[in-house]
């Protein structure tokens, strides 16, 4: 099979601040980021011939309207757009929408694709209802939920087992949150920009032992978008496009109790595929934008990606290696623990941040001399794992 390495690129991005914005409507923020991404790409809106909205979960009517080409009409693309369809795989929708756009462009079915995520998890529904809803997503209604199992319970189990298996300390896990807050302090679009130390995290109350309050993500309103086109068109538009050099993925399970016990056996091959396609090694990565949800998830990801030896990721963070100025900057937008959790937008935000870093547009938090960025995404309770590698040269 012919490689799709470097055949497509992200050329434009858009994002609004994440947080609690009751005055900003669902469609308003969607149109805003779509227009930002088109303008950032330096193209006329008529060049967009495919629109891929990402699933929205706060309001089923809003999501249904996205299915029915709401964005095509609001962006004024009705005379030129050829297709509109929603991509829905939870937190991994970012990766799946990107791969769909890549395939359509390489196949000649589309020239330029606009991907948009928007949701209102902060103000679009009652916060208690939102928390309750997320607690049981991707849980068996027959064998898990009736016995009290939930996303929070799983987070506690996962952190406890990881600490037992690796010797990682609770302070080292708290240092992940400290690192995310350091990055968020440099991100004008982040929700939680106030610095927090590992001591602050450890002083917060236990929610699902050993997970503490400040180790949790924060539901929020937000929106982000990106434009994908061919490598040839990208070179006409900018000197620093974010070429898609490698992708890899695995999809393994629905419920946690039926999940694969060893992430290294199931998820590491996804990373191996991405690096093989990109033709680079782990040592070549300049910045890693990792889907987070909880701090333990970042530590596990660092190790299964081969960016840290097994059991050493906690120390890597505790020593400041992932923070601003560190050896390998990680999740430089602050992730869902600091920028905010917008539903399926958690994955979109880190993908947009990876493109932002590769394109040299990250402002105060720009990592110097970025050539290659890695991003990850995962849906449900870890039902799948996706790895992407972006670079500014082929």
Rounded Cα gap, residues 394 and 392, in angstroms: 7
pTM: 0.97
**Band of residue 213 on the pLDDT scale cut at 50, 70, 90:** very high
Rounded Cα gap, residues 267 and 377, in angstroms: 11
Answer yes or no: is 197 within a domain: no
Q: How many helices (H) and strands (E) does the chain have?
A: 15, 11
Answer yes or no: is 61 within a domain: yes
Answer yes or no: is 44 within a domain: yes
Answer yes or no: is 70 within a domain: yes
Instruction: Note the pLDDT of residue 382.
Output: 87
Domain that holds residue 91: 8-125+219-237
- Which stretches does DSSP call E strand in 238-360? 242-251, 287-289
According to DSSP, the residues that pair with 221 across neighbouring strands are 19, 120
Instruction: Note the pLDDT of residue 16.
Output: 98
Answer yes or no: is 102 within a domain: yes
> What are the pLDDT digits (tens) for 90-130?
999 999 999 999 999 999 999 999 999 999 999 998 878 77
Tell me how many domains the chain contains.
1
Answer yes or no: is 94 within a domain: yes
114 φ, ψ to 5°? Answer: -110, 120
Pairing mode, strands 112-120 and 221-230: antiparallel
Q: Is the pLDDT of residue 61 over 70?
A: yes
Q: Is the pLDDT of residue 143 over 80?
A: yes
**Strand, helix or coil for residue 183:** helix
Residues 6+ positions from 291 with CB-CB distance below 8 Å: 91, 297, 301, 335, 336, 346, 347, 350, 375, 376, 377, 378
Q: What is the mean pLDDT of the chain?
A: 95
Mean pLDDT of 234-255: 96
Instruction: Note the pLDDT of residue 2.
Output: 62
Are 61 and 105 in contact by the 8 Å Cβ rule? The answer is: no
Answer yes or no: is 279 within a domain: no
- Position of tokens 């990055």? 183
Mean pLDDT of 117-145: 87
Q: Is the pLDDT of residue 289 over 90?
A: yes
Distance set, CA 140 to CA 144, 146, 256 (Å): 5, 9, 9
Rounded Cα gap, residues 9 and 290, in angstroms: 20
> What are the pLDDT digits (tens) for 323-348?
999 999 999 999 999 999 999 999 99
Answer yes or no: is 151 within a domain: no
Instruction: Note the pLDDT of residue 97.
Output: 98
Q: What is the CATH number of the domain that holds 12?
A: 3.40.47.10
Q: Tell me the H-state helices in 22-150.
A: 26-41, 60-67, 70-74, 93-106, 127-135
Which DSSP category does 204 fall into?
Answer: S
Instruction: Note the pLDDT of residue 135.
Output: 81
Determine the length of the chain. 394
């Amino acid at each position: 099979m012919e490689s799709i390495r470097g055949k497509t690129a992200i050329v434009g991005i858009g994002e609004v601040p994440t947080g609690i914005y009751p005055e900003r409507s669902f469609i308003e923020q969607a149109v805003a980021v779509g227009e930002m991404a088109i303008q950032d790409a330096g193209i006329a809106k008529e060049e967009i011939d495919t629109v891929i909205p990402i699933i929205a979960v706060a309001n089923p009517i809003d999501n249904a309207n996205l299915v029915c080409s709401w964005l095509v009409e609001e962006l004024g693309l009705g005379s030129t757009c050829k297709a509109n369809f929603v991509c829905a795989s939870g937190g991994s929708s970012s990766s799946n929408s990107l791969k769909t756009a890549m395939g359509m462009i390489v196949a000649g079915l589309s020239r330029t694709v606009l991907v948009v995520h928007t949701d209102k998890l902060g103000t679009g529904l009652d916060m208690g209802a939102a928390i309750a809803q997320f607690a049981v997503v991707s849980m068996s209604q027959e064998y898990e939920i009736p016995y009290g199992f939930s996303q929070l319970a799983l987070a506690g189990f996962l952190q406890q087992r990881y600490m037992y298996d690796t010797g990682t300390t609770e302070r080292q896990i708290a240092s992940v949150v400290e690192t995310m807050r350091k990055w968020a302090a440099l991100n004008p679009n982040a929700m939680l920009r106030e610095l927090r130390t590992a001591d602050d995290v450890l002083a917060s109350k236990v929610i699902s032992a050993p997970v503490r309050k400040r180790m949790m993500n924060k539901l929020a309103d937000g929106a982000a978008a990106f434009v994908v086109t061919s490598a040839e068109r990208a070179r006409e538009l900018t000197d620093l496009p974010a070429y898609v050099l490698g992708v890899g993925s695995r999809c393994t399970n629905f419920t946690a109790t039926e999940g694969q016990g060893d992430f290294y056996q199931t998820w590491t091959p996804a990373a191996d595929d991405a690096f093989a396609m990109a033709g680079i090694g782990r040592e070549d990565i300049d910045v890693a934008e990792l889907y987070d949800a909880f701090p333990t998830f970042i530590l596990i990801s660092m190790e299964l990606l081969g960016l840290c030896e097994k059991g050493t990721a906690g120390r890597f963070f505790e020593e400041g290696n992932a923070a601003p100025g560190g050896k390998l900057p990680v999740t430089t937008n602050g992730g869902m623990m600091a920028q905010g959790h917008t539903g399926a937008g958690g994955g979109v935000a880190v993908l947009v941040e990876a493109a932002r870093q590769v394109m040299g547009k990250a402002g105060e938090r720009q990592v110097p001399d970025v050539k290659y960025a890695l991003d990850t995404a995962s849906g449900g309770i870890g039902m799948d794992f996706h790895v992407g590698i972006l670079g500014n040269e082929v």
